[in-house]
Structure 1
Amino acid sequence: MTDRTAFAQEATPSETRADRRRLVESVRAHRRLLAERGPFEVADRRRLNREARERDRVEARHGKELQRVHEKRVKRERSLTSSLNGLDGKRESQERNALAVLRRESVEQALRSTRLDAGQVNGIGNGLVRDLAAQGIRTAADFRRVSWGKAPNGKGGEVLYIHRTQGRKVHINGIGEHRGRPLAEWQRQALARAQARAPQELPADQRHRIAEIIEEERVRLQAELAEAPRAAEAARAEAARRYEEEAERLAAAEREAAEEAVRRRAGFDTMAEELLALQAELAAHVDRFGDLGLRDRRARSRALRPLPAVPVIPAPRTPEPSPRPAVDLAKQAGAPGVPGAPGVRPGLGWLVPMVFFGLTAVLGPGDDAAAPLWLSISARLASLAVLAELLRLWIPRRRWRTAGPLPAGTGQLAGAVFLALFSASMFADPEHAAGGAPWALAVVSVLLLLAGTTRRAGSGRPGETSD
C-alpha cells in the first residue's frame, strides 16, 4: 500500500482534491445504496404479515373443510339411523299394500267372472242383455255405477246413464229407474261377495319375500352406517393431506423469501461497514490535508452525516409446516360433558321465524290499525326481544369455529311466543273473542312455554340438543 506520508509529500493540490473527491463520491454512493434499507425492511415486514395472513387463510379453509366433513357424516348417520328405525313400519306398510293389491286383484277377478245373464236382474231380459253387451257391459266389472242426466240429444228430460269402468257413460234404451236400480244393486251385491271372499291376509311366501327384502335393506343400511365413519375419516385424511401440501408450499416459499431477506440484510450490513470505513478514511484525509474550500466542506458534511437508523422488525424465521391434527368431532360428541353433536350448525330454516318476528316488530300484530295500543306496543317489544335472542343464538353457531346446535327448547319457546301473539290478537278482535279458538291457542302457548323452559333448563346435560 502507498505510504500516506510519502503521498502527502509528493501529491500535488489537484491530486489531493481528486483523492478527496473520490472518497466523497464513494461515501455518497454507499449512502444512496443504504437508503434502500428502510423501504426493504418495511416491505419485508409486509411480507411477513402477508405470509401470516395466508397461513391463517389456509388454516381457516382446512377447519371449514373438516367442519363440512363432520356435518356430512352427522347428517348421513342420522338419515341412516332414521331409515333403520323405520324398517319395521316399512315392512308393515309393504305387507298392507301387497294385501291390498291381492284383494283388489281377487275382487276384480271375481267381478269379471260374474256375468250378466237374463233373469238375474229384475226386468232385464235377453234383449237388454244383448244391448248391454253391445256397449261393453257383460260382467259386474264392466261398470261402476248408474246416475241420472240429460238425454244425449237434449230432448226428453233426464235419462239413466251407466258409467262404464273403461270408457264413457252410456244410456241403454229401455233401462230406466225401475231397471237401473236393480242393476246397480246386482253389481253391489257381486262386489260385496267378492270382497268377502277376497284373502284377508298375505300368503306365507309373499310375507317371507317381503321380510327378505326388508332384511336385505337392513343389512345394506347397517353396512352404510358402519362405512360412514370410515368415509369421514378418509375425507379428513384427504383434507389433512391437502392442508399439509399447502402448508409445505407456503413454508417453502417463506423459507426462500426469508433466505433472500437474510442475504439482502447481510449485504446492507456489509455496505454499512464499508461506509463507516470510507467515512473514517475521509476523516483521516481531512486531518492530513486540511480544508480544501467551501465546496469541499459542504460535500464533506453531507458525506459524514450519521447513518440512518435501521427500522426494528421481527427477527427473520424459517417456518416449518405445522398441520393441525384432524380432530374427530364425532368422537367428541360422545365425550362426557359435551352437549349434543358439536359442530352441527343450525339450519337456514330458522330465518323464517326470525323474518316473522322482525316483520311483527316493525308492522305490528295482524291488523295493527284495529289493535289496541297496549297490544301493538307489547307485541312489538316481545317480537323484538325474541328476534334479538334468536339472532344471538343463531349467528355464532353458523360460524365454523363456534358451530353447534341451538339450545334445546328454542323451537318451543319461539312457537309459544308466536301462538301467544296470535292468541292476543284474536282476543282483541270482537269477532273471535267470544269463541274458543283464542283460549285453545293460549293454552297451547302456555304448554309450549313450559316445555321449552324445561328443556332449556336441562340443556346443560349431555345429549341435549335443539329441536
Structure 2
Amino acid sequence: MNSTTPRWDAPVPASQYTVPSPSAIRAERHRLIESVRALRRLLDKRRSFELANQRRLNREARDRDRAETARGKALQRIHERQMRQEASLTRRLEGLDGKRESQEKGALADLRRQSIERALHNTYLTSSEVNGIGTGLIRDLAAHGIRTAADFERVSWGKAPNGKGGDVLYIHLTKGGKVHINGIGEHRGRPLLEWRQSALVRAEARAPRELPPDERHRIAEIIEAERECLRQELEETPRTAEATHAEAVRSHAEALDRLAADHREAADRATERRAEFDSMAERLLDLQGQLSEHIDRYGDAGRRVRRAEAHALRPLPEVPPLPSVPSPRAPAETTTPVSLTKATDRTVSLPAPGVRAGLGWLVPIVFLGLTSVLGVGEPDTTAPVWFRIGTRLVALAITAELLRLWIPRRRRRTAGAMPSGIGPMTAGALFALVSASMLADTDPNDGAGWAAGVVSLVLLVLGTILRMRKRTEG
C-alpha cells in the first residue's frame, strides 16, 4: 500500500506537461495541412489515370478486333485463291483435248505449207512451160530473181516506172516489191500467172492430208506431259492452301500473344500505380487523423487557418468504378469498347443498329428553310414588319433544330431513329406557319386559319407530351 513504485494509471500532474508555444502549434498545423494538400494533389491524378487506363483497355480491345478481322480476311483470301486456282486448272485440263486437235491441225498446216513451198521451189520456169516466153525473157526474169514458181505471187497493172506511156504489167515478188520486164505484157503475163496457178494446184494436190504417225505421237506426248503437270498442280493446290492457312493462323496466334504480353505488362504497371494511390490514400487518412487529433488537443490555431483546416479535413473524393474491358484473350463476342464520354443529353436516343433517320425529313427541312428566306407567303405587302421577321426567325430556328437532330442520325456510327415526338411537333410548326399566313390576310378564309391553328396546337401538345414521356423513361 505504501510502495514507492509509481502507478502507470495514475494521473500525471499538469505541471509535468510541456505545452508548445502558439507559434509551434501553428507551424505544426501548417505542416500537417501542407502535407494533406500535397497528397490531395497527387490523388487528384487518380481519375485521369483511370480514364487513361480505360482508354488503353479499349485500344487493346480494338487491336484484338482488328487482328480477328485481319485473320478472317486472310483466310477468306486463301480460300478464294484456292478456288480460283482449282477452277483454272480444271478448265485447262478439260481443254487439253481441244488443244491437241488444234496443235495437230496447226502441225498439218505447217507440213502442207512446207510441202507446197518445196514443190514451188522445184518448179523451174522454162520456155517450154509458158507459151510466148522465150529464152531471152527467161534470162530477163532470172536476172530479176524470178526462176521458179515460188519467186512471185501475182501480176498487176500500174503506171510505167519512168512515168511516160501508159500502164505496164508488174510482177509482184514473194520477198516483196514488184518489177516490170520489157516484153511481158498482157499476152505474156496471163500465161505466166496461169503457169504459176497450175503449179500451185499440183503442189496442193500432192501435199500430205494427214500427219505422220511419229508427229502425231510427239504431239500426244507433249499433251500428256502437260496433263500430268496440271494434275500435279491440282493435287498440290489444297496442300499449298493448307500451309498458307496454317501460316495465317500462326501469325494470328503470335499477334494475340504480343497483345496479351503487352496487356499483362500494362496491367502490372496499372496495378502498381493503383497500389501507390491506395498507399497515398492511407497516408492521407493518417495525416487527417493527426490533424484532427492536433485540433482536438490544442484547439483553434487562428482565423487564418480555419478554412485551410476545413479544406484539408474534407473526405476523399470517390472515384466511380469504370466498366471493365476483357483482356485480349477473351472471346471477341464478349468484348464491347467502353465510351468515356459523359452523356449530356438524355433526350437523345441511343444509336440503334440498322436504324437510320429517313430521307423524308428533307421535305420539312427544305420547306422550313425556304420559309426562313421567302417568308410564309404574306398575301400582300401590308403585313407588319414584326410578322415577317418573326415568322422567318421561327422557321430558321425550327430548321436548325431539325438539322441538329437529323444529320447525326444519318451518319454510320451515330445512326438512329429521330426522337419520339419530333414528327408531331414538326407538323404542328408547319400548321402554325400556315395558320399565321392565313390569319395575316385581310380577308380570312372562313375560319380555315383558326382551324389550322387548333390543329397546330393539338400537334404541338402531343409532340411535347411524347418528348416528356421519353425523357422521363430515359
Mark yes or no: TM-score above 0.5.
yes
Deviations 1:69-101 (A, max 9, x none): 222222222221121111111111100000000
> Is 1:193 aligned to 2:195, yes or no?
no
SS of aligned partner of 2:17: helix
Whether the aligned pair in 2 keeps the contact of 1:148 and 1:158 (CA below 8 Å) is: yes
1:10 and 2:18 are equivalent in the alignment: yes
Counting only pairs closer than 5 Å after superposition, residues 332-343 of structure 1 correspond to structure 2 as none
In structure 2, how many angstroms separate the alpha carbons of the residues matched to 1:56 and 1:131? 89
Distance 1:280 1:210 in 2: 103
Residues of 1 paired with 2:270 and 2:13: CA distance? 45
Q: How far off its partner does 1:163 sit?
A: 0.9
Partner amino acid for 1:197?
A: R
Choose 94-103 or 22-31, whichever is displaced more: 22-31
Q: Is 2:252 aligned against 1:243? A: yes
Q: Secondary structure of the equivalent of 2:323?
A: coil
1:115 match: 124
- Partner of residue 223 from structure 2, selected from 206, 210, 214: 214
Please state if 1:67 is matched with 2:76: yes
2:64 touches 2:328 (CA, 8 Å); kept in 1?
Answer: no
What letter is aligned with 2:180?
Answer: H
- 1:226 aligned residue (217, 226, 235): 235
1:55 deviates by 1.8
Measure the CA separation in 1 of the matches of 2:140 and 2:332: 89
Residues 434-463 of structure 1: CA distance to partner in whole angstroms, max 9, x if unpaired? xxxxxxxxxxxxxxxxxxxxxxxxxxxxxx
| 2:86 aligned residue | 77
Write the deviation string for residues 275-330 of structure 1: whole angstroms up to 9, x where unpaired: 12221232222222222221231111010111111132234765448799xxxxxx
- Output the amino acid matched with 1:177: E
**CA–CA distance in structure 2, aligned partners of residues 303 and 149 of structure 1:** 119
Report the Cα distance in structure 1 between the residues aligned to 2:119 and 2:332, rounded to whole angstroms. Answer: 75
Between 275-284 and 162-171, the greater mean CA deviation after superposition = 275-284
Q: 1:161 to 1:292 in 2, by over 3 A?
A: same
Structure 2 residue aligned with 1:130? 139
8 Å Cα contact 1:248-1:321 kept in structure 2: no
Q: 1:317 to 1:295 in 2, by over 3 A?
A: farther
C-alpha distance in 2 between matches for 1:6 and 1:66: 89
Question: Which residue of 293, 296, 299 corresponds with 1:290?
Answer: 299
- The root-mean-square deviation of aligned C-alpha atoms, in Å, is 2.4
Q: Which runs of 5+ in 2 are unaligned?
A: 1-8, 334-474
Superposition pairs for residues 251-290 of structure 1, below 5 Å?
251-290=260-299
Q: Would you say the 8 A contact 1:251–1:321 is kept in 2?
A: no
Determine the structure 1 residue equivalent to 2:167.
158
d(CA) in 2 for partners of 1:162 and 1:89?
42
**1:303 aligned partner, one-letter code:** A
**Match among 180, 187, 197 for residue 171 of structure 1:** 180
Q: Which residue matches 1:39?
A: 48
Q: Which runs of 5+ in 1 are unaligned?
A: 325-467
Say if 1:279 and 1:303, in contact at 8 Å, map to a contact too.
Answer: yes
Work out the CA distance in 2 between the residues paired with 1:175 and 1:317. 101
TM-score, L = length of structure 2: 0.64
TM-score by length of 1: 0.65
The match for 2:31 is 22
Structure number, greater radius of gyration: 2
Q: How many angstroms apart in 2 are the aligned matches of 1:150 and 1:82?
A: 57
Give the whole-Å Cα distance in 1 for the aligned partners of 2:44 and 2:120: 107
Q: Distance in 2 between matches of 1:316 and 1:323?
A: 11
Deviations 1:208-262 (A, max 9, x none): 1101001111111111111111111222222222222222112111110111001
Q: How far apart are residue 44 of structure 1 and its match? A: 0.8
Secondary structure class of the residue paired with 2:314: coil
CA drift of 1:168 comes to 1.5
State the identity %: 63
Residue by residue, what CA displacement relative to the aligned partner does 1:15-36 show, whole Å, maximum 9, x if unpaired? 3333323322222222111111
Shift in CA distance, 213/316, structure 1 to aligned 2, threshold 3 Å: closer
2 CA distance for matches of 1:113 and 1:307? 117
Q: Which amino acid aligns with 2:144?
A: Q
Distance change in 2, residues 1:47/1:135 (3 Å) = same
Contact 2:61–2:325 (8 Å) recurs in 1: no
Is 1:53 the counterpart of 2:62 in the alignment? Answer: yes
Residues of 2 paired with 1:259 and 1:318: CA distance?
A: 13
Question: What CA deviation, in whole Å up to 9, does each residue of 1:153-209 have, x standing for no partner?
Answer: 111201111111123111111111111111111110110010011000101111111
Given that 1:115 and 1:138 are in contact with CA atoms closer than 8 Å, whether structure 2 keeps it comes out as yes
The residue correspondences of 1:289-438 to structure 2 (distance < 5 A) are 289-315=298-324, 319-320=328-329
> How many pairs does the alignment contain?
322
Specify whether residues 281 and 6 from structure 1 end up closer, same or farther in structure 2 by C-alpha distance, changes over 3 A only: farther
Matched, 1:87 2:96: yes
